Amino acid sequence: MKPTTLKDIAHELNISVATVSKALKGYSDVSSSTKKAVLKMAKKMNYIPNTVAVNLRTQQTKTLGVIIPAIVHHFFSEVMDGIIKEAKKHGYLVITLQSNENYQLEKKQLILLQQKRVDGILISLSNDTPNFDHINAILQKKIPIVMFDKIAKLVECSKVVIDDKLAAYNAVSYLIEKGYKRIAHFRGSLNPQISIDRFLGYRKALVDHGIPFDPKLVYICDNNDDFNDGYNNAKKMLEEHNDIDAVFTITDVVAVGILKYLKENDIKIPEDIALFGFSNWFMSSVITPSLSSVTQPGFKMGKKSTKILIEEIKCINKGIPYSFQTCVLPTSLVIRNSS
Amino acid sequence: MKPTTLKDIAHELNISVATVSKALKGYSDVSSSTKKAVLKMAKKMNYIPNTVAVNLRTQQTKTLGVIIPAIVHHFFSEVMDGIIKEAKKHGYLVITLQSNENYQLEKKQLILLQQKRVDGILISLSNDTPNFDHINAILQKKIPIVMFDKIAKLVECSKVVIDDKLAAYNAVSYLIEKGYKRIAHFRGSLNPQISIDRFLGYRKALVDHGIPFDPKLVYICDNNDDFNDGYNNAKKMLEEHNDIDAVFTITDVVAVGILKYLKENDIKIPEDIALFGFSNWFMSSVITPSLSSVTQPGFKMGKKSTKILIEEIKCINKGIPYSFQTCVLPTSLVIRNSS
DNA sequence: AGGGATTCCGAAATCGTTTTCGCTTCTTTC
DNA sequence: GAAAGAAGCGAAAACGATTTCGGAATCCCT
C-alpha cells in the first residue's frame, strides 16, 4: 500500500539504510555484490525515490515556478512549451501559475512559489503591475528570477525579450514605404513595457519618415479582450476619422477584431485600410485577407529564459558568481495580403 | 540569507519549536500572549513555511500532476486554464508535463509524477498509447487519476468527456439534412477513443439517414500536423473523387487546411464543398468563410476533472470509499458559413 | 489546605532521504 | 608477523516541519 522506502529495502536485506542509499546512488564504498542485491531488491519492491525527502535533505527542489498573465494565449502557450521542454532537459519540473493580469494575484503567486521552495522563477509581468518590490524582495533572497516578454527594465535580473521598439519601427516603416500616410496605432495598456516600446517604435517610424505624429490616431486596447477591443475601437476610429489608410496593432487578435469590423462595413483591406499585426499567430496566416505580422519567437523565448535561469541556479549551487544577461531575440516581418 | 525556520523564531523568543508551530497553526493550547509574540516575530523575520518539510511530514504535497499531449493547442490550453484555476481554489498547485503524443514519454512522465509524490494525476492520453498498464499500475497504488478528453474506456477511474459519437452524429446529420449527400470524413489516428467515436458518429449518421457508408471517403490525419494533414488529404481527396459535397473533420485545424486548399483551387465553400469542423477554435469564427464546428468545453473539462480529482483525494485522506464517475459535458453545434 | 481540573508548554518521534565519519575486517608489504 | 593501507559497512545527524503525550504550574472549589 505505502510506497517502498529505503528502510524497507534495508530491512529486507538486513543491511543499513545508508548502504542502500549509497548502493542506489553508485557510491564506491559499496561492494559490487551488495550493490547488485540492492538494485535487484529495489526493482523487485518497485522502489520509487521520494523526491520530497530528497528535496528536504538536499535543499533544492529541481522545480521551476512560472508566472504568466494567462495560459490561454497562443504566444504564452508557446513559451510554456519552450520552458517545459528545456526544463525537462535539465531534470527540472515546472509549476505554472497565472496572474490574470492582476498585480495582487501576481504577488500571492510569488509567495506560493517561495513556500514551494522552487529553485528559480520565470515571470512575465501582469499589465497592472505598478511597482516591482515583490520581485526585488525575492531577488534579494538570492532566488534567481528571469523575466521574459513583459519585463521591467529597472529590475536587476536576467531578461529575455525581443526588441519591441525596433520591431514596431520596422513594421510601421514598411507601411510608410508602401505609401501609407495616415497610420493609426492600436496600442495596449499604458503600463507594460512592451506596450510602451511598440508605441515608441510606431512614433519614431513616423517622425523619421517625416510624418507628423498625431496622438488622436492612437487607440488604447486595455480591456483584456483583444478581439472586441479591436472591433470596438475600429468603429470609434472610423467615426472620428475618415482618412486613416493603415493600422498597426499591438497584437494580431486586435487586428483581427478590426478586420472583422472593416469587412462588415465593406471597407477593403488593404486597398482602403491596411492592417499590420504583431506576434504572428497561426490564425493570421489563414484568415482572409491574411494578416501581415511581426514574428515573436515564443518557443525560443521560453527555452532561452529557462536555460539562463538554470545556469544561474547552477552558479548559486556552486557558489560561483554570475552576472545578469539580457537576451534580445530576433524578430522579422511577415508580409501578407493585409498590407 | 537562509530562509527563516521555526527554529529561528523559537530561538529568538526562547521558546520551543513545538510552541511556535502550534501558535502559527492556531492550536488552542497556546496562550494568547505567546501566540501574539510568535505571530509578530514571524512577520518580523519574514517567515515563509517550508512546504517541502510540511509535505514530508504530512505525507501529501497539495500538488496535482497533469499530462497532456501538447500545450500549444487551443483546446488544451483552455483545459489547463480550468485545471489551474480549480486547483488554486482548493489550494493545489499543478505540475504540467507533455507526452508529445508519445507513449514512452507518457510512461516516463507518470514515473516522474510519482517521484514527486503528487496527490493526484490528470491525464489526456497520447495518440500512440497502445495499452494502459502504466495507468493501472498507478491506480492500484491508490493514487487517484482522472482522465479527460482522450480517455481509455477500459481503465477503471473517473473520466470527463464529451459524447464524441453523438456530437459527430449531430454534425453529420445536420449536413445531411442540409442536403449534402457525399460526405467525406477526415479522421484522426486509429488509436484514440475520440477519433474512433467521432468516426462512429459520422458513420451512424450516414446509415441512419439511408446514405451508404463508403470507407473510401475516410481520410486519416495522423501526422501530428493537422493543418497540413488537412491540406494534403484535401488534394488527395479531390484527385480520387469528384463528387464530394461536404467534409466533416476531426478538428477545426484540419478543416482550415482543407479550406486553404479549396480556396487555392477556386472551389467554393459551401456551394461546391461544405466543411464542418470540431472543437470550435477561436480562429474558426474569424476565417472566411467562417467554419461550422462543434463546441468542446475545454475550460469546463479542466475544472470538472480537477474537481472530481480533488474530491477523490479528500476521500482517500479521510479513508472513506468513493466510486468512479464519468462526466459527460454537453456540446452543441455552431453553424456558420462553411455549411 | 487538599484535591481535581485546567492551562500552557516542551521533549521527542516522525516523515525519507543524504552524507560524514568512524569502526571493522581484510589485504598487502617488508 | 606487525604495521599500514584499503575496503565495506553502519550509526547518527541533518533537512524543517507536525503532533502526541506528559509534566509543571496555576486555578477553582469545597
Mean pLDDT of B251-279: 97
Grid cell of A15 as nine digits = 543491511
If pLDDT is split at 50, 70 and 90, which confidence band does B133 have? very high
Q: What is the structure's pLDDT at A25?
A: 95
| Residue B1 included in any domain | no
Residues B95 and B173 in one domain: no
Specify the residue for cell string 467534409. B247
pLDDT at B245 over 90: yes
Mean pLDDT of B14-42: 95
Grid cell of A123 as nine digits = 515571470
Spell out the residues 6+ positions from residue B44 whose beta carbon is closer than 8 angstroms to its own.
Answer: none
* pLDDT tens track for A14-44: 999 999 999 999 999 999 999 999 999 999 9
What percentage of chain B reaches a pLDDT higher than 90?
A: 99
Residues B121 and B174 in one domain: no
| Residue A103 included in any domain | yes
What percentage of chain A reaches a pLDDT higher than 70?
A: 100
How many whole angstroms separate alpha carbon B292 and alpha carbon B275?
7
How many A×B Cβ pairs under 8 Å? Answer: 124
Chain A residues touching B72 at Cβ < 8 A: 74, 77-78, 80-81, 299
Contact B287 A282 (CB under 8 A): no
How many whole angstroms separate alpha carbon B71 and alpha carbon A75?
11
Q: What single letter denotes the amino acid at residue B280? A: N
Residues A178 and A140 in one domain: no
pLDDT at B1 over 80: no
> CB of A53 under 7 A from strand C?
yes
Residue of A nearest to B60 (CA): A52
Q: What is the structure's pLDDT at B220?
A: 98
| Residue A1 included in any domain | no
Is it true that the peptide bond before A270 is cis, omega within 30 degrees of 0? yes
Domain residues for the domain of A34 are 6-49
- Comparing every residue's Cα with the C1' atom of nucleotide D18, the nearest one is B57
| Residue A145 included in any domain | yes
Residues B81 and B98 in one domain: yes
| Residue B319 included in any domain | yes
Which nucleotide is closest to the Cα of B51 by its C1'? Answer: D17
Residues B105 and B215 in one domain: no
> CB of B31 under 7 A from strand C?
yes
| Residue A132 included in any domain | yes
Helix (H, G, I), strand (E, B) or coil at A122: strand
Helix (H, G, I), strand (E, B) or coil at B279: strand
Q: What is the structure's pLDDT at B265?
A: 97
Contact A80 B70 (CB under 8 A): no
Residues B279 and B174 in one domain: yes
Q: What is the structure's pLDDT at A70?
A: 97
* CA-based nearest distance A47→chain B, Å: 10
Q: What is the structure's pLDDT at A1?
A: 76
List bases, strand C, within 7 Å of protein CB. 7-12, 14-22
CA/C1' separation A12–C25 (Å): 24
| Residue B184 included in any domain | yes
CA/C1' separation A154–D20 (Å): 51
Q: Which stretches in chain A have pLDDT values below 70?
A: none
* CA-based nearest distance A91→chain B, Å: 10
* pLDDT tens track for B152-165: 999 999 999 999 99
Residues B143 and B248 in one domain: no
How many whole angstroms separate alpha carbon A11 and alpha carbon A6?
8
| Residue B335 included in any domain | no
> Per-residue b/e over B8-18, b at no fewer than 16 CB within 10 Å?
bbbebbebeee
Which CATH number covers residue B31? Answer: 1.10.260.40
Helix (H, G, I), strand (E, B) or coil at A219: strand
Query: Which of A53, A94, A142 is closest, CB to CB, to B56?
Result: A53
Q: What is the structure's pLDDT at B321?
A: 93
Closest CA to B49 of B94, B116, B91, B4: B4
A96, A122, A279, best to mutate vs chain B, most B CBs in 10 Å: A96
> CB of A45 under 7 A from strand C?
no
Kindly provide the residue ranges of all beta strands, DSSP E only, lying in B188-289, ordered along the sequence: 218-220, 246-249, 274-276
Residues B195 and B289 in one domain: yes
Contact A51 B115 (CB under 8 A): yes
Residues B326 and B287 in one domain: no
Which 80-119 positions of B have CB less than 7 A from strand C?
Answer: none
Give the CA distances from residue B93 to residues A115, B80, B83, B306, in Å, rounded to whole numbers and listed in that order: 11, 12, 10, 11
Residue of A nearest to B290 (CA): A287
Residues B193 and B307 in one domain: no
Check if the beta carbon of residue A221 is closer than 8 Å to that of residue A230: yes
pLDDT at B280 over 80: yes
List bases, strand D, within 7 Å of protein CB. 7-12, 14-22
Query: Which of B72, B81, B288 is closest, CB to CB, to A288?
Result: B288
- Residue B133's Cβ-count burial label (10 Å; 0-12, 13-18, 19+) is exposed
Which nucleotide is closest to the Cα of B52 by its C1'? Answer: D16
Which CATH number covers residue A273? Answer: 3.40.50.2300
Helix (H, G, I), strand (E, B) or coil at A163: coil
Contact B93 A97 (CB under 8 A): yes
Residues A139 and A90 in one domain: yes
CA/C1' separation A11–C29 (Å): 39
If one counts the domains in chain B, the total is 3
Residues B133 and B226 in one domain: no
Query: Which of B81, B95, B117 is closest, CB to CB, to A71?
Result: B81
The vertex-A86 CA angle with A334 and A300, nearest 5°, equals 15
* pLDDT tens track for B205-242: 999 999 999 999 999 999 999 999 999 999 999 999 99
Element of type H or E holding B300 = helix B298-318
Q: How many other C-beta atoms can be found within 10 angstroms of the C-beta atom of residue B32?
A: 8
Query: Which of B88, B116, B260 is closest, CB to CB, to A51?
Result: B116
